[in-house]
Amino acid sequence: MRDPEVALPLAASRRRFLQSLSLAATASVFSEPRLLLPAAQETATNKAPEVAGLHEKGLDEKRMRELAAWTALTMETPNPVPFGAEIFDTERGESLMRAANAVRAANDPSAHAEVHTIRLACRKLNAHSLTGYTLYTTCEPCAMCMACALWAGLDRVVFGATITDAARFVRQIRVPAVEIAMRSDMKCAVNGPVAQDVCLALFTNPIMQKAFKTWNSPKP
């Protein structure tokens, strides 16, 4: 879309002219948000590395907090979980898939949030590769989930709470995700913790605390 052409009437004051420019620019911003957002992201990326890094960090924080808020909705269901994951297109910033841990709901011990989301995303794309995508997860991936992220070819994995955080409440395989990535032939950046406070709050939620007692019970 072309910017609205604003002519300067001979009798108009400089202040009125500037006001008309401001209104035209505002109208353009709100009429084409999808076109302007990528341009803004590109500008930030093309700046100095530290500026681009701050932009990415702020975006990671925003997405993680939104994911934590969505995951918190499971507290109102029969199967509350503190584990949620979401996959975004790395370049365009579009969300591809979001899902929560489904181990108990599906009676599938491998249906951790990350694996579950990766499966659904691949099914949606009808592809086995997620190269070009970034995974966000409310908790640092376990060895199984990080391995799945590597095999899927994800660009990045961003996590909220840490494995150490989760181990305070549920059983964990205590191997850092970054260590799994370092021992792999596949390349995948691992960033975290991000928005650790809100993700940890999922674990300390009273409803979740009550559910954990069932999780850790030897009874089915």
The residues carrying an active-site annotation are: 114
The residue written with tokens 């955080």 in the block is 165
CA dist., res. 161 & res. 142, Å (int):
12
Q: Which helix (H) or strand (E) holds 182?
A: helix 177-182
Asked if 28 contacts 1 with a C-beta cutoff of 8 angstroms, the reply is: yes
Distance of CA 75 to the CA centre of its chain: 20
CA dist., res. 101 & res. 195, Å (int):
19
Query: Strand, coil or helix: what is 92?
Result: coil
Tokens of residue 167, six digits? 């181990």
Q: Name all contacts of 122-128 with Cβ < 8 Å and 24+ positions apart.
A: 122/152, 124/96, 124/97, 125/96, 128/152
CA dist., res. 174 & res. 30, Å (int):
47
